[in-house]
Amino acid sequence: MVSCFLGIDAGSSFTKFVVINDSYEHVFNYKVKTLTRNKEEEQSTLKKINDEFNIKGIGATGYGRNYYKSANVVKTELYCASAGVSRVFPYDKNIIDIGGEDVKVIKSAANGKVIDFYMNTKCAAGTGAFITEVADKAEIELSEMSSLAEKSNTKRELNSFCTVFAKTEIMQWILHDVPVEDIAKGIYVSVVNRIKKIPMDSSLPLILIGGVAHYHTYFRKIMEDCFQKEVTVPANPQYINAFGAAIFASES
């Protein structure tokens, strides 16, 4: 039976599971909500993994990484993001990881070494949670947000860094009959402009990962317009950190 390795990324919103074989190929991936009292789905997922695959090592990362006592290697998201992305893109790069509650910009070497990193400093501004909460205030379905934004030509953006004040600003937009597609794009533009304020090496290619890259496909186009360069999104961008954790497990 082929040796396999499990990577677990316990993020603030979702916990992601990735199983790779000894050739670093994905053979399984799945996600469950992190903050829930019902652990049945998570337990059944882990049982399915152990029943179907010959797991020889487990790597854990994310906010809840220390919860998984069975993990034989534990790494921060920075190292796992760099390892996972570098397996697919083996060159020097900036990795922009937009998570539920933070944004990380990682300067990553071709071999996966973390050269430098920066994080957002304005609470949840520019994160997945910011997009979710402000879109909810504007009564925009997240599943429709990307297609709505694509129809807009606006350059309007939210001025508020604080999620609470941004919601108040959104109310003003609605009261002034701003079209819903302009609101959707305006939220994205606000997030991209916050990311642009984070220091990074402008000479390097940009790789975008995380849940926002996964669910908001038009976000990449807005980033390209803002940064005036190509932005690459790998397949399954929400699972990259779990993939990196699985890589560390295989090498431990």
Asked if the model's pLDDT at residue 125 lies above 70, the reply is no
Question: What is the pLDDT confidence band of residue 126, given thresholds at 50, 70 and 90?
Answer: low
Question: What is the pLDDT confidence band of residue 1, given thresholds at 50, 70 and 90?
Answer: confident
CA 218 – CA 208 distance, rounded (Å): 12
Residue-wise pLDDT for 184-224, tens only, equals 999 999 999 989 989 999 999 999 999 999 999 999 999 99
Residue-wise pLDDT for 70-95, tens only, equals 999 999 999 999 999 999 999 999 99
Overall average pLDDT of the 229-244 stretch? 97
- The yes-or-no answer to whether 3-82+239-251 and 90-233 have a common fold is yes
Question: What is the pLDDT confidence band of residue 100, given thresholds at 50, 70 and 90?
Answer: confident
Asked if the model's pLDDT at residue 67 lies above 80, the reply is yes
Residue-wise pLDDT for 141-197, tens only, equals 999 999 999 999 998 888 876 777 888 899 999 999 999 999 999 999 999 998 998
Q: What is the percent of the chain with per-residue pLDDT over 90, rounded to a whole number?
A: 81
Q: Helix 163-175 to helix 128-137 angle, to the nearest 10 degrees?
A: 30
Asked if the model's pLDDT at residue 130 lies above 90, the reply is no
Pairing of strands 231-232, 206-210: parallel
Asked if the model's pLDDT at residue 66 lies above 70, the reply is yes
203 or 252: which carries more pLDDT confidence? 203
Overall average pLDDT of the 225-241 stretch? 96
**Residue where the block lists tokens 């220091």:** 199
Q: How many CA atoms lie within 13 A of 222 on its CB side?
A: 30
Residue-wise pLDDT for 28-48, tens only, equals 999 999 988 888 999 999 999
CA 95 – CA 74 distance, rounded (Å): 20
Fold (topology level) of 3-82+239-251:
Nucleotidyltransferase; domain 5 (3.30.420)
Nearby residues of 233 by Cβ (< 8 Å), 6 or more positions away: 207, 208, 209, 213, 220
Fold (topology level) of 90-233:
Nucleotidyltransferase; domain 5 (3.30.420)
Q: Which two tokens stand for residue 60?
A: 């854990």
- pLDDT number for residue 28: 98
- pLDDT number for residue 101: 81
- pLDDT number for residue 162: 75
- pLDDT number for residue 39: 87
**Beta strands of the chain (E only): which ranges?**
3-10, 14-21, 26-33, 54-62, 73-74, 93-98, 103-108, 114-119, 206-210, 231-232
In contact, 151 and 181? CB cutoff 8 Å: yes
Domain boundary assignment for the chain: 3-82+239-251, 90-233
- pLDDT number for residue 123: 62
- pLDDT number for residue 121: 61
Cα–Cα separations (whole angstroms), residue 31 to 122, 214, 216: 28, 13, 17
